[in-house]
Amino acid sequence: MDKEHLKGAADKVKGAVKDAVGGATGDSKLQAEGKLDKAKGAAHNVAGDVKDAAKDANRR
């Protein structure tokens, strides 16, 4: 797991917690922040996948 994938996983977890707490407490701002953090996590994962693909292509 590289740096981008680790950032992605951390952002997804942080986002899921914020989303859940925001939903449970009725805090729509916190819930929206959670959804944004989850989206950032997904973007980091995509960036990591692209880097992995580039590394694999260079090895061939």
Q: Which tens digits make up the pLDDT trace of 1-39? A: 789 999 999 999 999 999 999 999 999 999 999 999 999
Q: Is the pLDDT of residue 57 over 80?
A: yes
Nearest-angstrom CA–CA distance, 32 and 52: 30
| 16-53 burial code (b ≥16 CB/10 A, e <16) | eebbeebeeeeeeebbebbeebbebbeebbebbeeeee
* Residue ranges of domains in the chain: 3-53
pLDDT given for residue 5 in this prediction: 92
Element (H, E) at 51: helix 28-59
Nearest-angstrom CA–CA distance, 42 and 32: 15
Place of tokens 């740096």: 3
pTM of full prediction above 0.95 = no
